[in-house]
């Protein structure tokens, strides 16, 4: 069974429309898929109709939060995407996103980028503005050669465009997911640059506020990382999730469903449902 419980559509910072994303997943023979856009469920009402035949669609979201001064992501799976509590919290996240975008644009202006806000808005095309939209704008105007350099020089950790938004706290994003009947999953734990001690502190708090699962596999990662996170999952009694974190076909190394397998002897997040 091929499972991908972490993907992005153009409802956030992905490149494909929701329907096209599912079509690509079907082509890759994915059996179970979730679209987990940043701080929005807007992909779901756009889908209309059923997913491609034989494919199971799990409603999801990826919520942004701040923990110990760092940006952390929590995936919510098996949610009711129209739940009013979740939608109220999403509206707050989107307001935080808009305010942050203005700050990012002001900082880029100081570096000589005119009209960054208008450019990012064009690139987002109605979606909540994220750093990738600024990155794409910087590429378009020739300020950098590609989005990787945009992050390395201007938008990544510690750079001027790395502005902390006023995201809901960890306990609140987990509660939003629970309110919508979903399972809270700590996203890509290996990608925060946390020491093992810090990561264990985060997991302690995550479990204490109701977190139930962790991405043991996310995108492409080494077997050593998978083993390390699987051990943490067992230690903290968390189920294992798996996803590509696919954003678009231009990244050749990432495609829906193309991830390493989860270890056999670990509880899978979908076994909770
Ligand atoms: P935001 O939601 O605005 O904080 O933007 C975070 C998103 O930026 C992530 O979900 C990725 O899609 C993208 N991103 C983060 N770091 C990088 C990077 N170094 N290179 C390319 N994209 C990145
Ligand atoms: Mn993203
Ligand atoms: Mn993420
Ligand atoms: Mn993601």
- Order of strands across the sheet that contains 213-218: 3-4, 32-35, 56-67, 70-77, 183-186, 213-218, 239-243
Buried b (16+ CB within 10 A) or exposed e, 186-223: bbbbbebebeeeebeebbeebbebebbbbbbbbbebee
Task: Check: CB of residue 41 under 8 Å from CB of residue 146.
Answer: no
Closest CA to 49 of 78, 24, 25, 18: 18
- Look at residue 65 and tell me whether its pLDDT is greater than 90: yes
- Look at residue 84 and tell me whether its pLDDT is greater than 90: yes
Residue 248 burial (10 A CB sphere; 0-12, 13-18, 19+): middle
- Give the rounded percent of residues in the chain with a pLDDT score beyond 90: 95
The token pair at 67 is 């923990």
Q: Check residues 53 and 194 and name the one with the higher pLDDT.
A: 194
pLDDT of residue 254: 87
Q: Hey, whose CA ends up nearest to atom 15 of ligand 1?
A: 156
Task: Name all residues whose Cβ lies below 6 A of ligand 1.
Answer: 13, 38, 64, 130-132, 147-148, 151, 156, 247
Q: How far apart are CA 157 and CA 178, in angstroms?
A: 30
Residue 17 burial (10 A CB sphere; 0-12, 13-18, 19+): middle
Ligand nearest to the CA of 219: 4
pLDDT tens digits for range 132-187:
999 999 999 999 999 999 999 999 999 999 999 999 999 999 999 999 999 999 99
Q: How far is the CA of 49 from the centre of ligand 2 (A)?
A: 26
pLDDT tens digits for range 187-235:
999 999 999 999 999 999 999 999 999 999 999 999 999 999 999 999 9
Mutate to test the pocket of ligand 1, among 131, 144, 154, 191 (most ligand atoms within 8 A of CB): 131
CA 2 to chain centre: 19
Contacts 24+ apart (CB under 8 A), 82-87: 82/41, 83/179, 83/180, 83/181, 85/176, 85/179, 85/180, 86/41, 86/61, 86/176, 86/177, 86/179, 86/180, 87/41
pLDDT of residue 124: 98
Q: Please state the rounded mean pLDDT for residues 1-6.
A: 97
pLDDT of residue 168: 98
Q: How far is the CA of 106 from the centre of ligand 4 (A)?
A: 26
Q: How far is the CA of 67 from the centre of ligand 3 (A)?
A: 14
Q: How far apart are CA 33 and CA 6, in angstroms?
A: 8
- Look at residue 251 and tell me whether its pLDDT is greater than 80: no
Name the pTM for this structure: 0.98
pLDDT of residue 249: 87
- The residues, ordered by sequence, that sit 6+ positions from 105 with a Cβ below 8 Å of its Cβ are 116, 117, 120, 134
Q: How far is the CA of 226 from the centre of ligand 3 (A)?
A: 17
Residues around the ion ligand 2 (C-beta < 5 A)? 13
Q: How far is the CA of 232 from the centre of ligand 2 (A)?
A: 24
């Amino acid at each position: 069974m091929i499972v991908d419980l972490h993907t992005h559509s153009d409802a956030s910072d992905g490149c494909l429309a929701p329907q096209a994303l599912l079509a690509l997943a079907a082509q890759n023979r994915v059996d179970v898929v979730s679209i987990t856009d940043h701080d929005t469920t807007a992909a779901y009402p756009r889908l209309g109709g059923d997913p491609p035949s034989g494919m199971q669609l799990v409603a999801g979201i990826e919520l942004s939060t701040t923990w110990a001064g760092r940006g952390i992501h929590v995936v919510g799976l098996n949610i009711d995407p129209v739940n009013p509590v979740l939608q109220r919290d999403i509206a707050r996240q989107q307001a935080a996103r808009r305010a942050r975008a203005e700050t990012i644009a002001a900082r880029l202006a100081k570096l000589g980028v005119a009209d960054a806000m208008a450019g990012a808005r064009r690139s987002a095309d109605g979606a909540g503005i994220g750093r990738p939209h600024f990155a794409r704008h910087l590429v378009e105007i020739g300020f950098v050669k590609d989005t990787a350099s945009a992050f390395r020089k201007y938008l990544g950790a510690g750079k001027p465009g790395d502005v902390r938004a006023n995201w809901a706290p960890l306990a609140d994003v987990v509660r939003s997911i629970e309110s919508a009947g979903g399972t809270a999953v700590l996203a890509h734990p290996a990608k925060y640059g946390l020491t093992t001690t810090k990561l264990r502190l985060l997991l302690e708090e995550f479990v204490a506020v109701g977190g139930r699962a962790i991405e043991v596999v996310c995108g492409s990662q080494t077997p050593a990382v998978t083993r390390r996170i699987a051990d943490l999952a067992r230690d903290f009694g968390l189920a294992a999730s798996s996803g590509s974190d696919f954003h678009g076909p231009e990244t050749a190394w990432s495609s829906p469903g193309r991830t390493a397998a989860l270890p056999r002897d670990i509880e899978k997040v979908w076994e909770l449902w």
